[in-house]
Chain A
Amino acid sequence: MAVVFIMPVYVMVITSLKPIDEVSLDRMWQLPTSISFESYKYAYERLAPNLLNTIYLVVPATILSALLGSLNGYVLSKWRFKGSEWVFTFLLFGMFIPYQSILIPLIEFLRQIGLYNSIGGLILVHVVYGIPITTLIFRNFYAAIPTELIEAAKIDGADFLGIYRHIMLPLSVSGFVVVCIWQFTNIWNEFLFAVSITSSGSQPIMVALQNLSGSQIVHWNVQMAGALIAALPTLLVYILVGKYFVRGLLAGSVKG
């Protein structure tokens, strides 16, 4: 079974390293006779601007949605008010909706505020629709921090922001790591918003990859090289800090 799971990666790698005259249907499983990087060169030339677009999108969107989620999680776990549980459920619902059900008004709205077909528009979209998941993860994370700490600080006269800055934030490092990895992966890989909100100039990498593989003239070795280039950043993150990725996965699916 493990072999079956690894097989697609093997095929991706060997196909992407083949020179064009070796890419034939009947030799698909054979190792390349000589290693060639020409498909990478070609795919990278095609995808480089989109790779930059995705980086411009992912970095601010990840940071902003993590900060928002942290604040919300702090409020919903340590400053509960009448109806705060109801507020949490109200936010959580947004995590599960099919985004098709908000797409038409969303595009109208972005056109009106002049952010349609821009990375800025995509950042806004990912920050807003990231609120439920980041709030959920942080709320569960902060629930584990003893309330006595907060109570003691309140007696010492610390206020909402003071407690957040001096007590919560220093304890939030691993929470931020989990949320940032999770959002980074999700936003990097997202396709529906990317393909409906942007066109040629500002398209993120996944849209460009889809266009590359959708065109009839592009050979398989280039497609596989493109897929590897597009997948590499999130794959690296998983290989380096997969533990946190899985933690985010579990935190986002089970109530803590």
Chain B
Amino acid sequence: MQPGSLILSTMARLLLPLQLLFSIFMLLRGHDLPGGGFIAGLVASSAFILYLFAFGVPATQQVLRVDARTIAGVGLVIGTLAAVPPIFIGEPFFKALWWYPEIPLIGEVSINTPLIFDVGVYLTVLGSVLAIVVSLAEAEE
């Protein structure tokens, strides 16, 4: 794939961090407002795809640092692990657990297994979509 247009490459460089931030925002608010792991994963992957179109495969892989397939694998592991904790307190597999620890300066935060699971979904979707697009783009070059 030929890196081309100046406008595209400038925009891609600017948009990548913004879009990633936005995707994390979508991920975290998903439980109460439109969003969630799946959507956030798609947003994040489109950020990288835009970068890919602007700068080509090697540059994108440098930004990613890890192989896309690894990201998907880590996502699957996290998603599966999120189902495990309830077993230790005698609850069924995948029963949602919620903690509200107090953290100085920030106040009460919520840590819960559905969110961990959603992070797994996020990473799996991101990794899978990127793996597909990157391998197709590579085949083209």
Partners in one complex: no
Measured CB to CB, the residues of B under 8 A from A are: none
Measured CB to CB, the residues of A under 8 A from B are: none
